[in-house]
């Protein structure tokens, strides 16, 4: 929402001097320049091609990009109840943002094609055995995504979410550990599940009746992403390079 600004000083006119206090914690005062002001009646003419910052997971029902804010300064846990294909696309796209991706998996062969395609692990993606992920040293300059592909009953991870280090846990289906993971997750993605699983997720996550009835009918590549307050269906559309590497969208592996 735009708010009107006070009139800017004219060109070549220095602003009125402030009190002698320095701004504590903000460094020294730099050169003062007139503000760049857009009159309210011209605001509609301003268009900036800037969307949310993050990883493009696909498009929403209106055909607009749906973006997941994976790289954050606070701990962020994501649970995806779905297929390996979607998790791998998200891993690729996260690495493309400059983040490092550490994959903890019991099926390393399913990830090795990605590792080779990305330079043998030298370009942002590394695969580790279950329970063998080393400390990642995440920072604002080198954020990290840990992908846990550890089956129906993933053990508690040695490397957990933290500042600039998010964790995405992939569950092929619901399991006894799912309620615990869903409670701690900030974001949950659900792909096609059975009617019984949909009903259980409806109770656990507070889904509407329509959402519960829709989950068993979702096409391949479609995910219902849920936060505490928002729900959004997203279609993940692969690029040509992603199709060549991973194939077409699929729920089963």
Quick: pLDDT tens for 100-111.
999 999 999 999
pLDDT in tens, 4-15: 444 444 444 445
Residues 176-207 have pLDDT tens digits of 899 999 999 999 999 999 999 999 999 999 99
State the pTM of this model.
0.79
Q: Would you mind telling me the total number of residues written for the chain in this entry?
A: 253
- The DSSP secondary-structure symbol of 140 reads S
**If you average pLDDT over residues 9-29, what whole number do you get?**
47
pLDDT of 129 above 80: yes
Phi-psi region of 25 (alpha: psi -120 to 50; beta: other; left: phi over 0): left
71-133+140-246 CATH: 3.40.50.300
Q: How far is CA 54 from CA 27, 50, 107, 120, in A?
A: 30, 12, 28, 25
The SS3 call for residue 146 is strand
Q: DSSP string spanning 36-59?
A: ----GGGGGG-------SSEEEEE
Per-residue pLDDT band for 1 (boundaries 50, 70, 90) equals very low
User: What separation, in Å, do the N-terminal and C-terminal C-alpha atoms of the chain show?
Assistant: 46
Tokens representing 111 are 């990830």
Contact 186, 227 (CB under 8 A): yes
Is pLDDT above 90 for 219?
yes
In the numeric block, which tokens belong to residue 211?
């959402």
CB 24 within 8 A of CB 31: no
**Burial classification of residue 135, based on how many CB atoms lie within 10 Å of its CB (0-12 exposed, 13-18 middle, 19 or more buried):** exposed
More confidently predicted of 244 and 157: 244
Average pLDDT along the chain: 85
Residue 45: is its pLDDT beyond 60?
no
Do 193 and 223 form a contact (C-beta atoms < 8 A)? no
Residue closest to 124 by CA, chosen among 105, 106, 147: 147
At 52, the pLDDT band (50, 70, 90 cuts) reads low
More confident call, 83 vs 34: 83
- Residues 6 or more apart whose Cβ sits within 8 Å of residue 132: 104
Give the model confidence (pLDDT) of 135-161 as tens digits: 999 999 999 999 999 999 999 888 999
Compute CA 51 distance to the chain's CA centroid, rounded to the nearest angstrom. 14
Instruction: Say whether pLDDT at 3 is over 50.
Output: no
Q: State the average pLDDT over residues 22-36.
A: 49
Percentage with pLDDT > 90 across the chain: 71
| pLDDT at 23 > cutoff 70 | no
Contact 127, 110 (CB under 8 A): no
Domain positions in the chain are 71-133+140-246
DSSP 92: H
Least reliable range by pLDDT among 37-51, 78-92, 124-138: 37-51
């Amino acid at each position: 929402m735009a708010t009107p600004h006070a009139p800017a000083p004219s060109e070549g006119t220095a602003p009125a001097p402030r009190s002698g206090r320095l701004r504590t914690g903000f460094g020294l005062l730099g050169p003062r320049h007139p503000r760049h002001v857009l009159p309210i009646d011209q605001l509609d003419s301003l268009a900036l091609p800037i969307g949310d910052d993050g990883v493009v997971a696909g498009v929403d029902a209106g055909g607009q990009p749906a973006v997941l804010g994976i790289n954050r300064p606070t701990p962020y846990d994501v649970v995806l109840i779905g297929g390996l294909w979607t998790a791998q696309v998200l891993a690729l796209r996260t690495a493309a943002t400059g983040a490092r991706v550490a994959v903890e998996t019991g099926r390393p062969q399913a990830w090795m094609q990605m590792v080779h395609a990305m330079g043998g692990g030298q370009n942002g993606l590394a695969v580790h055995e279950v329970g063998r992920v080393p400390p990642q040293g995440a920072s604002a300059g080198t954020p990290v995504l840990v992908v846990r592909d550890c089956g129906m009953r993933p053990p508690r991870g040695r490397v957990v979410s933290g500042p600039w280090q998010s964790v995405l846990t992939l569950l092929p289906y619901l399991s006894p550990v799912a309620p615990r993971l869903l409670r701690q997750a900030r974001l949950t993605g659900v792909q096609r599940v059975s009617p019984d699983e949909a009903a259980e997720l409806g109770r656990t996550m507070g889904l509407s009746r329509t959402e519960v009835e829709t989950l068993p009918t979702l096409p391949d590549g479609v995910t219902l992403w849920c936060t505490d307050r928002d729900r959004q269906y997203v279609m993940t559309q692969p690029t040509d390079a992603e199709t060549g590497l991973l194939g077409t969208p699929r729920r089963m592996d």
